[in-house]
Amino acid sequence: MQSNTDFQIRSKIGRENKELLIRKNCIYCFNQILKRSIEHPIPKSIGGKLVFPLICGKCNNVLGSIVDRHWTWDCWMKFAKDQLNLPKFNFKSELKVSDSQNKYTVIKLPNGKEQVKLPFTPDGAWRAVGKMAYELCAMMIGSYIFHNDFDGVRHFITRGELPAGHKSVPDFLHFGEWCNILRTSYNEKPAPWHIFDFQDRGESLSIHLALFDYYSFCTTFKVNIKDLGLKTVEFPFRIVQELRPENKLYLCNWDNEQNKWKIIGYF
């Protein structure tokens, strides 16, 4: 098996899209990348191992300090870390979460009150989720990520700009034609892995993120890459990142004959 992460991802991008890797422009500001900056689509603060090279140092630093920092203050990430006994992750959340009968969660707020309900999602999470989905999407579709179909989500991630008519972030994020993010189902317990599924639905590209297989989001980008003749990876496609014991990344495709996911590579 190949051990080089960058090579593994490149090999999954269609031939027509490899110009993305030749172009060497930042997928946020479009400026030429003069100095390589190591970006983790899934932040290292929550164990991310996957590396994506096409972000300039300036955007990487700014978005890391403004957007990615959300995860270090996220109470659900801290809850997963505590449940799984993962001491290397340094979470700072002041909100406390505890398990209740293996089914519900309890949020203890700074004022001492408790709320028993499904996890809420603070506004900062939407930009952080959008950023992860956007970067993972770039790995899958290559140069099409520079298309103006993605201008709206780029502005939301980099500037926090909401489209016209949106004054605040709702319980689920739905910005019409270009982006739809919603929370999906939760498992009863966090698990020591992250799962990322990619599916081409013809007129949209769907990315499902299950952080710790517990904190779960589905992001849909309204794009029709087939109309432009661009090729993506074979869908559906899954990446599973182990958080212990070996911290491996597994690449999977769906096996229709056996009706299950099949590992096609790992590193």
Q: What is the mean pLDDT of residues 250-262?
A: 88
pLDDT of the residue at 5: 44
Q: Whole-structure pTM over 0.95, yes or no?
A: no
pLDDT band at 12; cut points 50, 70, 90: very low
Chain segment 124-164, per-residue pLDDT in tens: 788 899 999 999 888 877 778 888 888 888 888 998 877 66
C-beta pairs of 259-266 under 8 Å, 24+ apart in sequence: 265/1, 265/2, 265/8, 266/1
Domain count, the chain: 1
Q: Which domain holds residue 248?
A: 5-266
Q: What's the pLDDT at 160?
A: 82
Average pLDDT over residues 26-34: 89
**How much is the pLDDT for 105?**
59
pLDDT at 82: 82
What's residue 225's pLDDT? 66
Tens-digit pLDDT profile for residues 174-228: 666 567 888 777 777 889 999 999 887 777 888 999 999 888 888 888 876 666 5
Predicted pLDDT at 4: 46
